[in-house]
Amino acid sequence: MLWYKSWREMRTVILAGMAAMAIVCAFIVINQQTMRDHADAPITYVAYIWKAVYNSIGRDLFLILSIILGSGGLLQERAHGTAGFTLALPVSRRNIVFTRALIGYFGVIAIAAVPIAVLPLASHYIGQVYPVAQTLGFATLWAAAGALFYGFTFLLAHHLEGEYTSVLLAVPSLMLYGVLLQLPWLSRFRMLDIFDIINGEDMPFFNESQHLLTGPMPWFSLFVMVLFSFTFVVFASRRIQLRDF
């Protein structure tokens, strides 16, 4: 019942997010010749896909969707008058929070995985080739980074009331994080830059000339991202357990 309820509450965002990602990827591929013709310098098809999907529109859409997925919770249900029904279910508040968190993260993974199918198939349709291995690698980076963005917003949603408050706070907070990364003493630690890890830019596992993932994946950094996301969910759960409804 609880799993189904969480899915019903989040399925619109998840399915719409997957559809939006598929449309964006397909549009980028289909219009590749026009966009490459208008580029400042000649670029390969692989470089174009990286720039458009993994370093621009696709990446930004994914991060926004990850933030939106993390924005719901019991506090938002209380604003709609449905929290009483959820709390009346024969399960603990911890189970309620963790079930919603898990369903939401499955949504993050599902959206991150959309380019795995769309990019190779759409590329084949126009007579181009984009390696499936690359889509798998970037999906892994997206899933870990998306978990962190999702978990941070999830924590905010369980501390702040209001349907959009967590989103409105998460976006500028992450923008501030991007600004702080430009500080000289922080810019030396490349593995702290989630925005570069998610697309490989300036990273040792990414070949800048070929625009391909070539080196070992940053598994430790990805593990730390997921661990932080889990920690955010734990703190959200503890907050709800102490909250008076």
- Give the lowest-confidence range in 16-25, 35-44, 101-110, 176-185: 176-185
pTM comes to: 0.91
Average pLDDT of the segment spanning 55-62: 94
The residue extents of the domains of the chain are: 2-242
Average pLDDT of the segment spanning 45-69: 95
Q: Return d(Cα 245, Cα 232) in angstroms, integer.
A: 21
Structure tokens that stand for 42 in this block: 């000649």
**pLDDT greater than 90 at residue 234:** yes
Q: What is the pLDDT of residue 9?
A: 82
Identity of the residue numbered 122: A
Q: Return d(Cα 162, Cα 85) in angstroms, integer.
A: 19
The CA–CA distances, whole Å, from 2 to 151, 208, 223, 232 equal 20, 46, 28, 21
Mean pLDDT in the chain? 87
